[in-house]
Structure 1
Amino acid sequence: MLALATRVVSDYGKVLAHVAPGVYGLPQSLLPYPKDRIRAALRFLLHEVAPGHPELREGLARGYVYLAQFVDDGDADTIARGAAVATGQSPDKGEAEPAMRLINRIKAEMEQALDELSGASYE
């Protein structure tokens, strides 16, 4: 189980290395595995490996929270169109509101992930 979880998280880390930080709404199709599988691998490593390694624990926790940034590809497209409005690249103001709703959902999911980690014993 350890080897499998390590591989899943390693492959996920390779994806994270290629995405721009601070971007909301990345296409889920970029992920090497389904989100649930990555989430489970991160939880396993947090519980089994990270307690004695604070730096590793911090990195795994960040990856766990950041997983919320990956959304259905259609939602990622909606967010990209909203960003185009915000930067003046698109005149269609109607694209902004749906994008903001999705971004707010992502933020809420990130908060939930933080709450899950704070409620779990990984020390």
Structure 2
Amino acid sequence: MLALATRVVSDYGKVLAQVSPGVYGLPESLLPYPKERIREALRFLLQNVVQEHPELREGLARGYVYLAQFVADDDAQTIARGAASATGQSPDDGDAEPAMRLINRIKAEMEQALNELAGVAGE
């Protein structure tokens, strides 16, 4: 299980190295595995391996929270259109509200992930 979890997280890390930090709504199709599989691998490593390595633990925790940034590809397109509308690159104001709802959902999922991590740290 350790080798598999390490491989899954390593492949996910390669994706993270290629995306811009702070971007909301990245398409799930960029991920090398389904989100739940990556989440489980991160949880496994956080619970079983890295207690004595705080830097590694922090990186895994960030990756766990950042996983919420990956959304269904259609939702990622909605967010991109909303961002274009907000910056004046698109005249269609109808995209802004659905994009903001999706971004708020991402923020809520990130907060939930932080709460889950508090539970993992307490185990």
TM-score interval (norm. to shorter): over 0.9
Aligned length: 123
Letter of the 1:54 counterpart:
P
Asked if structure 2 preserves the Cα contact closer than 8 Å seen for 1:51 and 1:122, the reply is no
Q: C-alpha root-mean-square deviation of aligned residues, in Å?
A: 1.0
Runs of 4+ off more than 4 Å: none
Give the 3 Å change call, closer, same or farther, for CA 107–34 of structure 1 in structure 2.
Answer: same
Instruction: Map 1:25-104; keep pairs closer than 5 Å.
Output: 25-104=25-104
Unmatched 5+ stretches in structure 2 = none
C-alpha change, 1:25 and 1:83, in structure 2 (3 Å) is same
Displacement of 1:122 after TM fit? 6.2
> Counterpart of 1:114 in structure 2: which amino acid?
L
User: What's the counterpart of residue 111 of structure 1?
Assistant: 111
* CA displacement at 1:112 relative to structure 2: 0.1
**Aligned residues of 1:46 and 1:122 also touching (Cα < 8 A):** no
Match of 1:10 in 2: 10
> How far has the Cα of 1:50 moved from its partner?
1.1
In the alignment, the residues of structure 1 paired with residue 36 and residue 28 of structure 2 have an alpha-carbon distance, to the nearest angstrom, of 12
1:119 Cα deviation after fit: 1.8
